[in-house]
Amino acid sequence: MNTIETLGPRLLERLPAAVQRPSYDRASLAPGMAHLGVGAFHRCHQAEYTDDLLALQFDRWGIVGINIRPPTLADTLGRQGGLYTRLTRENDHVEARVIGSIVKVVDSQDSPDPALAVLASPDIELVTMTVTEKGYCHIPSTGALDLGHPDIIHDLANPDAPRSVPGILTRALEQRRVTHGRKLTLLSCDNIPTNGVILENVVRAFAERRGDGLADWIAANAAFPSAMVDRIAPAVTQDDLDSVERWFGYRDTAVAVGEPFRQWVIEQKFAGRIPSWDLAGATFVDDVTPFEHLKMRVLNGAQTTLATLGVQAGLEHTFDAVADPLLSVFVRRMLVEETLPTLMPVPGIEPLAYVEQSLGRLKNTAIRHRNHQIATDGSQKIVQRLLNPIRDCLERGTSIGLLSVPVAGWMAYLILASARFGKRWPVSDPYAGRIAAIADETGRDAQALASAILAIDTIFDPGLAANEIFRAAVTSALGELLSDDPMAAVRHSLEQDQVARLKRSKQSAL
């Protein structure tokens, strides 16, 4: 009986020919950057770009992966020497590649000290991060540091033992200032608009409260470029793990799965050296804003729309939702008629083609992205994906009838998880408890529910929340989504949009 080997440095030279492996000498690779939040996305994106770069231009850019939240890394990536298999999947096509750019992993869930030791090291010139939207401890509606966040309260009282991302980064910068004074670039790779600005806001706001000139030192010695990142990389399933053993004959406990498409646009704003990722396909630009608006409002807007409405239609995956005839028509029309007019020109990208490309990517049946996973932390996402384009439409005097439906869809998704509505599904969102309390207290009155949720000013800008057109559209859609026929909201919005289009067409013909 043959023993199945686990992926590791000793297995590299004996991998089957179908599996690509690093073409550079990993034994000579030294750490030069750290990454916070070593999840599936990082392994499919920044780590792969770095792997590509090392093959083209070998340099001291090995990655030290750090997790300050579960899962732990020691028993997966750690046991495999930082190696893992990246699978790209598109319908029936599969490509396997072992990525070698992660040279060390650090678990820092129980104490910040292991993370701080890496981040404060003079060898580390760059820190990248994928800590999800809520990891920044910011107020979604303003981008400011949330001083009422429990972790921020704790960290300000215990600056030597931080547990939040802003607290840990500030403490690491403070240690760098004291020990060697070397500059540091901190590059956010999370799906947040102006993510570098928000990261700088929360770190410097935290540092201001630490005093002793720390905020001024950070301003002079750290850089916070913004970035737009794109690749669909769903949560890994047991079947994904088993497939590597089944297809290629070895075990891998750190498999990552993604689609073939990838994109990385990075603001040219660095404190020192940075990897030449442009050689591996990334783009360095002066302004990331047009790219991030396009991606967040089109691709991510479509994902949030299909996820929350798809769950309520009884559909499990994104590809199920985008294949649904009603939801497919709805999301395409929403993007083309209401979202695209809010976008600024993007160099080299034709907007309508981008819509079709995005929807085509979501049809990939091999990427089993569950709607519930996409709907996770929706309160941290809807501002940039839906509310910002709605605000722009209102300023332009154009329709928001379609964009308002997924806003109501997010509300209904959390409301239906409350006790009042029978806890139809489990949810994960920082505002889930607050909205459940609203539902339990308010009952089934859509107008009262919508009013109470719109009053949450950390999500909804008060000016937008007070807009009668917006309030009416969201309240109407919410009422239908909470009915026995939730897709009535989608049908009715399309019907009303069609009537409005005909009316506009007649007026323009006069």
Whether the per-residue pLDDT at 163 is higher than 70: the answer is yes
Cite the residue boundaries of each domain of the chain with CATH code 1.10.1040.10: 289-509
| pLDDT given at position 29 | 97
Whether the per-residue pLDDT at 6 is higher than 70: the answer is yes
| pLDDT given at position 502 | 79
pLDDT in tens, 89-134: 999 999 999 999 999 999 999 999 999 999 999 999 999 999 999 9
| pLDDT given at position 508 | 65
What's the pLDDT band for 504 if we cut at 50, 70, 90? confident
| CATH code, residues 289-509 | 1.10.1040.10
Of 68, 217, 237, nearest to 155 (Cα)?
Answer: 68
Q: What is the mean pLDDT of residues 228-243?
A: 95
Sheet harboring 19-20: ordered strands across?
A: 19-20, 93-99, 84-90, 256-258
Q: Say which amino acid occupies 510.
A: L
Of 14, 127, 12, nearest to 68 (Cα)?
Answer: 127
- Could you tell me what percentage of the chain is helix, strand and coil, using 3-state DSSP and rounding each to the nearest 5? 50, 15, 35
What's the pLDDT band for 356 if we cut at 50, 70, 90? very high
SS3 256: strand
What's the pLDDT band for 331 if we cut at 50, 70, 90? very high
Residues constituting the chain: 510
SS3 142: coil
DSSP annotation string for 16-73: -TTEE---S-GGG--EEEEEE--SHHHHHTHHHHHHHHHHHS--S-EEEEEESSSSPS
| pLDDT given at position 1 | 41
| pLDDT given at position 372 | 97
- Percent of the chain at pLDDT exceeding 90: 95
Q: What is the mean pLDDT of residues 403-431?
A: 96
| pLDDT given at position 463 | 96
Q: Say which amino acid occupies 271.
A: A
What's the pLDDT band for 501 if we cut at 50, 70, 90? confident
| pLDDT given at position 498 | 87
| pLDDT given at position 472 | 97
Distance CA 326, CA 405 (A): 13
Whether the per-residue pLDDT at 43 is higher than 90: the answer is yes
Whether the per-residue pLDDT at 506 is higher than 80: the answer is no
219, 231 Cβ separation under 8 angstroms: no
**Distance of CA 209 to CAs 106, 125, 137, 432, Å?**
28, 25, 15, 30
Whether the per-residue pLDDT at 9 is higher than 90: the answer is yes
Distance CA 430, CA 419 (A): 17
Distance CA 138, CA 201 (A): 9
Per the prediction, the chain carries an average pLDDT of: 96
Name residues whose C-beta falls within 8 Å of residue 463's C-beta, 6 or more positions apart in sequence.
none
Cite the residue boundaries of each domain of the chain with CATH code 3.40.50.720: 9-285
pLDDT in tens, 243-261: 999 999 999 999 999 999 9
| pLDDT given at position 503 | 76
pLDDT in tens, 303-317: 999 999 999 999 999
pLDDT in tens, 172-185: 999 999 999 999 99
313, 321 Cβ separation under 8 angstroms: yes
359, 298 Cβ separation under 8 angstroms: no
Assigned architecture for domain 9-285: 3-Layer(aba) Sandwich (3.40)
Taking the alpha carbons of 67, 68, 69, 72 in that order, is the dihedral positive or negative? positive
